[in-house]
Homo-oligomer: A and B are copies of this chain.
Amino acid sequence: MANKTTFGISKEKNFSEWFTQIIQKAELADLRYNIKGFLVFQPWSVYSMEKMYAILEKILQGKGHKPYWFPTLIPEANLKKESSHIKGFSPEVFWVTHGGDSEFKDKYALRPTSETAFYQMFSLWVQSYNDLPFKVYQRANIFRYDTKATRPFLRSREFHWIETHCVHETEDDAMKQVHEDMETTEEILHENFCLPFMFFERPAWDKFPGAERTFAADVLNPDGKLVQQPSTHLISQEFSKAFDVKFMDRDKKEKYAYMTCYGPAISRIFASVIIFHGDDKGLNFPWKIAPLQVIIVPIRETNEIEKEIQKLEKKLILSNISVDVDRSDRSLGEKLYFWEMKGVPLRIELGERELQKRRLTVFRRDIGKKEFVAIKDLLKYIEKTSKKIDENLRRKADNLFKNKIVNVKSKDGLQKAIDQGKIARCGFCSVDKNGNDCAEIIEKEVQAEVRGTRLDEKKNDFSKCIICEKESHHVVYVARSY
């Protein structure tokens, strides 16, 4: 019977199988929808992702971003206005060509990202330096006819994100926004979702199509691979010119504006939450984004126990804690395994013994241990423990980076480091397009990628490029990725 509900697949030995199985067993998404790469997101993931949205939107609004809802459709002409943008995105665009029986003269894209929708409105909305910075965002679903293998949550053809778009007076202001976006990433990924990540400035060949500079957060997977998560971009001036986004400056001169954008993909970040925190027993949610924070399991069904449970439930709801009671006809053993697999942070057991002693048995999913709590102290216990759970998960995240980064000085050393699941730090000839050849050698021969440089790293302690052995101009980080 336990087999029915325990999870018990080794995440370390068979990560792919573990990931596929947990999505089905925990009912995070149903993969049987009849369009390739499109998922049905089920309640257990939606509850959590809605909490993720709420946290992120509150942070963005607190930093002065205002919410918009833009159309999902973008005329082809908009996409074509900036040449590197259309070149980058056109192979991935889903095209809407007909309404009813009639064919449209010009086709419409399902937004693969919305710069070209926002920017044409910015040219109407932004007139003077007084209007700047102009900071907006939208919660939206995004469509990309991705030709790479799709993978639930990580890479699907429709996904759910927030995109922020900003207009600035100067390039300096724009770079300040990039730093603000990096701080926002720290607040969501690390402080709230307890994930380990690092920011890299991407090399020229890996920039967002239409960006001058691209900065991306790579989340570290337990297996050593990286997953690209939110990225923030300094948009090229070509874009402002193409969309005529200009303003009257303090000096009465008309100038083209500087733009930035930032795109945390909630459904993709959720993948990192599953992958990073989950274990062989199943999911394991940080407190603030748990679909359910507390599950109460009655050990027996008596009137007294039921009465006490109802009192507890009411108390928790009043304190804004999400709680449910498992009154199903599953066996007690099944219930305990089931909620462990579902990753609920706290499981409260209440039977006759607990009632007699006026104390609850509480199981903490993060450390897999039981604790005893006086009924009257429950709220205080939860307040303290919810913080401890997240601290504990964050500590796990931080520890993962220890000994993860190794300096390498030869291709052999690079290969060895990568094969051990490390992130290799090395010298590199050039991160503009001239370095692309060396990057391709790394990709083909080492099966790894140049993730970029670090903004906070000024010192270049390598003399030669790890591949061509010409002079090293940058310290880059190389790793495998999903």
Contacts and interface: CB of A to CB of B under 8 A. Distances in A.
Interface of A: 30, 32-35, 38-43, 46-47, 49-50, 66-73, 75, 77-78, 90-101, 107-108, 110, 117, 120-121, 124, 136, 141, 143, 145, 147, 158, 160
A94 B96 contact: yes
A43 B134 CA distance: 13
A275 to B, nearest CB: 20
A97 to B, nearest CB: 5
A75 B34 contact: yes
B94 A98 contact: yes
B66 A43 contact: yes
B71 A40 contact: yes
Contacts of A38: 71, 73
Contacts of A42: 68
A233 B70 CA distance: 30
Given A100-B91, A100-B92, A124 B32 contact: yes
A95 B98 contact: yes
Given A92-B100, A97-B98, A145-B100, A73 B108 contact: no
A39 to B, nearest CB: 7
A174 to B, nearest CB: 22
Given A96-B94, A100-B92, A32 B158 contact: no
B40 A78 contact: no
A93 B97 contact: no
Contact of A68 (B41, B69, B160): B41
Contacts of A97: 95-98
A37 to B, nearest CB: 9
Contacts of A68: 40-43, 46
A158 B141 CA distance: 13
A120 B40 CA distance: 11
6 contacts: A33-B120, A33-B121, A35-B75, A39-B71, A73-B94, A94-B96
B73 A40 contact: no
A178 to B, nearest CB: 23
Pick the most buried of A69, A90, A94: most chain B CB atoms within 10 A of its CB: A69
A269 to B, nearest CB: 15
A60 to B, nearest CB: 12
A370 to B, nearest CB: 30
Given A35-B71, A72-B141, A93-B99, 4 more contacts: A33-B117, A33-B121, A46-B69, A72-B158
B47 A67 contact: yes
A80 to B, nearest CB: 13
Contacts of A32: 121, 124
